[in-house]
Chain A
């Protein structure tokens, strides 16, 4: 506690850095993965290949990826851009399958009914498919959010400041309290993201809270 009371301005600054790396990556992941997932669900032939490629992409370890990205994209190694690109790559790899499953979970009869009452294809997507896909999609986004926040710490190894800096700095200077602060702050941030996403999910699916005893499909690791 003593370490924290002396260094809290630094912790707050690093928390802000952490947030500025993880939030854009999460947003980009969702924006990129949802259209791909939708495509994969509608055209299973292209979809199968896309999902396979995504799962292979996901198999690439993070620290090596951080080093490969600058060589591919020409961004400097020690830049926030490297981190955001790497985190987005993982986010997309993880989310496309869930996004495809999410659109697959929408009852086709509901879609047909929407077409029957005169919705255009665009309107079917925005007003029927997407809202009904939210519960499954959200389960995936929550997994990605927690893992993204945790993954940001790795950036400290290549010199991108985040709460991970407390981990490497604390290790090098032999201050367990600093490392512990880094771990707890990272986990707290992950929990905060998760709580915000759950709240967003409630707001986006008001019909689900009425019969919330029906369990939502959960993303489980196997």
Chain B
């Protein structure tokens, strides 16, 4: 437990809380790259996922993409992109987007596809056009599962954003890599605890958001859907 005390001492040292390498800056950088990657993935994957769920075509394609993406080691993608694009943020950002897309896609597609066909049929019967059905019926009802996909993606990205420090001076991963190089275990452990705390915090926030979405946006009867989307997710490399 001595090591944890050292890490705690490192964390409570005011010198580590100021300046460009300070904890607040690193946390903000970490959150910024996470947010950027998940947003980009959502812009790319949400419309595609909703479309696939709505038309119920191309589900096999989603499965194939998710399966293949799961097998790619993110460290490999990152290093390969790093060699091609050079040191900097471009390589980790692209690698993180690639990591986030399958989860967002699967969440959107599964959520929309699971909407009861009787409900969409009723919507069509009262004269809604396909656009209205998608935006006013399917997306609200799919919200809990759709948010579940974003939650899985965010969690993977916030964890893997640690690797961004491998090719750039960015994010909380910096403490891990500089601690590894200088054999400063306290710094490494402090960085590790910070990333873990950040990931757990986001996880709890998303869980609460998902419950809220199930209660408010989708009908209370669909709360079960939110619980189901809590199923095991694939593990991201880092």
Contacts and interface: CB of A to CB of B under 8 A. Distances in A.
A221 interface: yes
A56 B76 CA distance: 27
- 5 closest A-B pairs (Cβ-Cβ)? A61-B159, A64-B192, A183-B76, A171-B79, A147-B235
Given A68-B196, A98-B232, A157-B180, A176 B83 contact: yes
Given A183-B80, A222-B110, A59 B199 contact: yes
B100 to A, nearest CB: 11
A143 B63 CA distance: 13
Nearest to A69: B192
B83 A153 contact: no
A153 B162 contact: no
Interface string B58-102: 000001001100111111110110111000000000000000001
Contacts of B4: 71
9 contacts: A61-B159, A67-B188, A77-B185, A147-B70, A150-B71, A150-B73, A154-B238, A168-B79, A221-B102
Interface residues of B, number: 64
B72 A143 contact: no
A62 B203 contact: no
Contacts of A58: 232-233, 235
Contacts of A63: 159, 162-163, 173, 176, 192, 195, 238
B57 to A, nearest CB: 17
A182 interface: yes
A108 B102 CA distance: 36
Interface size class of chain A, counting residues whose CB lies under 8 Å from the partner chain: 35 or more
Contacts of A77: 185
A32 interface: no
Interface string A100-114: 010000000000000
B195 A61 contact: yes
A167 B79 contact: yes
A182 B77 CA distance: 10
Interface of A: 55-56, 58-65, 67-68, 70-71, 77, 90, 94-95, 97-98, 101, 140, 143-144, 146-151, 153-154, 156-158, 164, 167-168, 170-171, 174, 176, 179-180, 182-183, 186-187, 190-191, 219-222
B193 A183 contact: no
A220 B80 contact: no
B140 interface: no
A68 B189 contact: yes
A60 B196 CA distance: 5
Nearest to A191: B71
B3 interface: yes
Contacts of B149: 221-222
A157 B235 contact: no
Contact of A94 (B106, B110, B158, B235): B235
B86 to A, nearest CB: 11
B145 to A, nearest CB: 6
Given A167-B73, A179-B83, A220-B66, 14 more contacts: A62-B236, A62-B237, A68-B196, A71-B3, A143-B70, A144-B235, A146-B70, A147-B234, A164-B73, A167-B76, A171-B167, A176-B80, A222-B145, A222-B231
